Structure 1
Amino acid sequence: MKFKANRFSVAPMMDWTDRHCRSLHRVLSAEALLYTEMVTSGAVAHGDRDKLLGFEPGQHPVALQLGGSDPAELALAARIGEDWGYDEINLNVGCPSDRVQSGRFGACLMREPDLVAECMAAIKDAVTVPATVKCRIGVDDQDPEESLFTLVDRCASAGIDSFVVHARKAWLQGLSPKENRDIPPLDYELVYRLKRERPDLTIVINGGVPSVDAALAHLEHVDGVMLGRAAYHEAGLLGEVDRRVFGLDVEDVDSFEAVERYRPYLARELATGTHLAAMTRHMLGLFHGLPGARAWRRILTVEGVKPGAGLDVVDRALEAVRVALASRDERTAPAA
C-alpha cells in the first residue's frame, strides 16, 4: 500500500526545522514530508539563497514554506524554490508573531481571504510542483466556521486543492506565539467537517498531535496529519512512521540506528566547518523516556558547544545511554 507523502508530515518550525534537523528526521522516516522553516519571499528574492534554501538531495520529499503577501514576489520566490529542487511550495497563513503581523503575512492574512487566494493563484501559476496553504481556523473574534471555510473556498476557486489546518485560532493581541500554540482550544471536529463537506480537497490536520497513535486516529477523518513539537522533542517516534502510517513492510528505525545513519551527514558537515552543536541540538530528544536520556542531553549540550567538538562527543553520549540501559537490564533481569 502506497500513500501520499502528506499523509504524515513534520511541521515547519522557526529555529528548529533547518536543514540539519531535516536530515536527522529523514534518517528516521523515508516517507514523511518535511518542511523548511518559514522563509519570507523577500529574503528568497534578495538574500543568500544558498544559506536560506540549500539542502541535501536525500531530504526529499521536502516542502518550502514561504511567508509574504505580495503575489508577484511570492511567485518569484516560488519559482526560485522550485529551481532549488523543493517538492512543494507552501504559504504560511498561520504564524501569529508580531514580526510576521507587521509584515502583513502569517495568521493576520486569515482576515484577507481574497488576498490569500490571489497570492496562491500567483504561486500556482509560477510552479509545476504542488502549491499549498497552511492556515489557522481563524484569528481573534472571527467565527471559525466562517473564516476557515471562506479562506479554503477562495483558494480552491483559485485552483488550490491541498490545505494544512492548525485546528485552533490565533489570538493576535494578548497572546505570545508560544501561548498561541497552547491556549486557544483545539477544534479538530471543525477540520473533520471541512473534509466531509469538501471531499475533493486534501485536508491535513495540525495542532497538539502528541504521538503516532494520535495521528492514526486523525487519519480516520482527514487525509494527512502534521506533527510539530512532538516530532521535534521526541524525534525517535518518527522511526515508526514508515511502517505504521505508510504501511510499508520495513523495520522501525530505533534511536541507535538513527544516530548511525546520521553520522555520515555529521562527518560531512563537520568537515565543511559546521559546528557540532548546530546539528546535535536537534538530536537531544532522540532517547526521550529511556534510561540515559539525561546523560545523552547533558553530554551533547555541554561538550558539543566546545571548540573543535567532533563525533567523539556523540560517541561518549551514546555510550552513556548504553551503560544506563545495561544497568536497567541488570536490575530487572530475573534471578537465576
Structure 2
Amino acid sequence: MTAHHRNPRVPRAVAGVVSAAFLVCASYAAGPSLADPVALPTTASDAIARMVDLSRQAEALNQSSLAAQQDLDAKLAVQRDADAKLAASTAVADAARAEVRKFQPMIDRTAVAAYTGARTDRMFAVLSSDSPQQLLDKMSLLDVLGQRTADDVRQFTRSADAATAAETAARAAADTARAATATAEAVRADVDRKRDDLTAATTQVVEAWGALSASDRSTLAGSPFPPGFDRDSLLAGLVPGSGTSALAAALTRVGDPYVWGATGPDRFDCSGLVQWAFKQVGMTVPRTSSQQANFGTPVARSELQPGDVVLFYPEISHVGIYAGNGLMVHASTFGVPVAVAPIDTTPFHSARRY
C-alpha cells in the first residue's frame, strides 16, 4: 500500500460518507460488528485508510463472487452433460421399444394360437394327412414355421431385454439430470447473493472515493513505482523463465486502473492481472486468488524469486507477482492503478512458483 500524507482535517462530507460506507461493509469481512462504536475519520489519511479497508473488503467479495461463478459454471457443465446423457439414453430406450413392437404381433398370434388350441405339431400333421406326400409337405412347412417362430421369439427376447436395460439407464440418467439441476440451482442462488453483496460493497467504495478531494485521491493512488525502482534494470537482469516473463508482462500494465472482475487487457483486478500476465507466456492460470494459491508449487518467503506469485491475507483475497527486493507488481485496489509496491504493506500468506 502506498504511503499516505496526513492533512490536518478531513471535510465533514468525506467523514460522513466514508463512515457510512464502513458501517455498511463491515459485515462483509472480519472487523468491527455493526453494534461496535466506529470512530469517525478526522483526517484525510484516516479517511483514505477507511477507503482502503472498504476496498479490500470489496476485493475479497469480488474474489469470492468469481469463485462462486466458476463453481456455477462447473455445475452447469455437469447438468448439460447429464441432460445430454438423458437424451441419448432416452433415444436408445425409444429405439429398443420400437424394436419390441416389431415382434409383438407375432408373439400375440402365437399366444392366441396356443390359447385357442391350434394344432401345429408333427403328430397333428400325421393324423391329418391323407397321403405320404401331404404328410411330408405339412411336416416341411411346420419345420419352416417352427424355425421362424423360434428365431422371432429369440429376437423378441433380445429386444425386450435391451428395452428393459435402456429404460433402466434412462431412469438413472433422468435421476442424475434432476440432481445436477437442483445442485446448479442452489449454487446459482449463492452466486446471486454474492453478486448482490459485491454490488452493495462496491457502491459504497465508489461513493467514499467520490467524496475524497482531488488531493486525497492522488495520495490514495500514490506513485506507480517506489523511490529508486528502475524497471529497465530489473528487466535486463531477469533470468529467462515463465515466471520472469509473466513479471515482465505485468510490468507493462503499470498505471492501468483497478476494476473489480476485470482481466485485461487494460484494466484488472488482482487475480485478473496475474492470470493475464501468465497468459502472455502461454500458461493457463486459474482465475481467482484462492485457486491461484493451489496452482504451481509452494515457495518459502525466504526463497522468493522474481516471477513468483505472492498471496496475501488469511482468506487469500489478494495476489501479486514478486519483482525482487521485497517488491511486487499488483492491481491493488479501487482508486489505485496497477503499481509496484513493497510486499510488507500487505499481510503475507504464501507464495507459489508457476
- For the criterion TM > 0.5, the same-fold answer is no
Q: Which of the pair is proportionally richer in helix?
A: 2
TM-score by length of 2: 0.20
Higher RCO (Cα < 8 Å, 6 or more apart) = 2
Higher-strand-fraction structure: 1
When Rg is computed on C-alpha atoms for both structures, the one with the higher figure is 2
- TM-score for both structures, normalised by structure 1: 0.21
